[in-house]
Amino acid sequence: MGKAKEKSVWFCSECGADSPKWEGRCPACGAWNTMVEEKVRPVSRASAKVPLGKTPRSVPRKVSEIETAREPRIHLPSEELNRVLGGGLVPGSMVLIGGEPGIGKSTLVLQNILSIKSRRILYVSGEESATQIKLRADRIGRMSDNCYVVTETSLENIFSHIETIQPELLIVDSIQTIASDTIESSAGSVSQVRECAASLLRYAKESGVPVLLIGHINKEGSLAGPKVLEHIVDAVLQFEGDRQYMYRILRATKNRFGNTSELGIYEMCQRGLREVANPSEMLLSQHEGELLSGSAVGVTLEGIRPFLIETQALVSTAAYGTPQRAVTGFDSKRMNMLLAVLEKRVGFKLAQKDVFLNIAGGLKVSDPALDLAVIAAILSSNVDMAVQQGVCLSGEVGLSGEIRPVTRMEQRVREADKLGMRSIIIPRGALKGVELSRLNIEVVEVTRVEEAFRRLFG
């Protein structure tokens, strides 16, 4: 019999769906211009046929009869990483860490595994040489005799190294550089990423060894490769932040073993990433002496973690006729809505003024509870009066000028109290049934924007 002829199949790089011909729009997920061509060899019918008499390895069991033995999690040196994972690495799990180039993914993983002394670890690098990894380890200032480094891109060779080393933790950096010899396509293609991830998942589940995958981010900001990669793994951690700033945020977008609303905060230093246990103190600028206008402190929530953040605004007369609106770290459309509320409901004429807004620390905040702090900063700059020291705000602003309650208000108030704030302005009725006698902070409840304005500036 002759060899089966290769044929071209078009795969969607977003969802992995295949099509016999190129299409501008994927028929499965609807994404545009995501179809890529790959050469595949069809499987013969004889090899694809499943024998009916074969005994399956698994046996169906009743839910009530399944034992739930809790396996101890692997506690990692970084408490922030443990929090995001839900308490540590689960044996036999596969975790994907994604982020932009140069954000610190490899540094985060390397400084953690070099601090683990009780487990044998295999670090597979498909991008960097062993010398480069050693230089990074020297910069971090940590050494380990339990961590083995190999530079390899062949999946079959990686499994040979696994048999030799017998690791208790496996790291693959990155999954887009690994290729299997059984597939006739280049590394990073849809079929290669899918097959390599599935083989590593099979190894993790059968051996009980946790696998950490490092992945790239495409220009749209999502994980490169087919969407099926995110379905295969047990947890997807997104490492994000602006490279011009020193803060990095690690958040879980998928976690089968924990909460997806947790996040960890790091600071990029010369010797690697440093955990930020109390981000509020770092995100508030300490002004000495004279208070400055255009600055207000808001209590925001990232996941389930509250912290205080400084909102800065500058309002000036439009010098070139058309007023400018520039926003950093906040939704520009939402700021325009808040400016319209101020003009219509409070009577401030801002249509012919330039408005610049900045969230301190380089963070991007989407929490609606920051509306009140944004309005306070804009009004403070507009009337050139500083908000008093020790005053913070938290509340959502509606289109009719009312201030609406937001989630987890008790946590926000306690965070402000812990950092020594004197008073907090919140929506009326947001703390019903909450005992605040033990707190030292003054809670000021308001209903409308103009009431908050009178409380701030008299």
| Segment 296-338, tens digit of pLDDT | 999 998 877 888 999 999 999 887 778 889 999 999 999 999 9
Average pLDDT over residues 390-394: 92
- Return the number of other C-beta atoms located less than 10 Å from residue 54's C-beta: 7
Question: CB of 426 within 8 A of CB of 415?
Answer: no
Which residues have C-beta within 8 Å of that of residue 421, sequence separation ≥ 6?
Answer: 297, 308, 390, 391, 392, 441
Tokens linked to 271: 């010797």
Looking at the predicted structure, is the pLDDT value of residue 366 above 50?
yes
Three-state SS letters, 212-243: EEEECECCCCCECCCCHHHHHCCEEEEEECCC
Percent of the chain exceeding pLDDT 90 equals: 41
Q: What integer pLDDT is reported at residue 222 of this predicted model?
A: 64
So what's the pLDDT on residue 101? 84
pLDDT of residue 103: 87
Averaged pLDDT of the chain:
85
Q: Phi and psi dihedrals of 272, rounded to 5?
A: 105, -155
How many residues are present in the chain? 458
Q: Are 34 and 61 in contact (CB under 8 A)?
A: no
Q: Is the pLDDT of residue 187 over 90?
A: no
Q: Which of 267-276, 281-290, 374-383, 432-441 has the highest mean pLDDT?
A: 374-383
The amino acid sitting at 6 is E
Give me the pLDDT at residue 50, please.
47
Q: What is the pLDDT of residues 210-236, one digit of tens each?
A: 999 998 876 665 665 667 788 899 999
C-beta separation of 380 from 292 below 8 A: no
Within 8 A by CB and 6+ apart from 357, the residues are: 311, 312, 313, 326, 327, 328, 330, 335, 374, 377, 378
Confidence of residue 243 (pLDDT cuts 50, 70, 90): low
* Paired residues of 123 in beta bridges: 149, 171
Name which of 167-171, 209-213, 275-279, 297-301 the model is least confident about.
Answer: 275-279
Predicted pLDDT at 437 = 76
Residue 220 has which token pair? Answer: 């749209």
Q: In percent, how much of the chain has pLDDT > 70?
A: 90
* Single pTM value for the model: 0.76
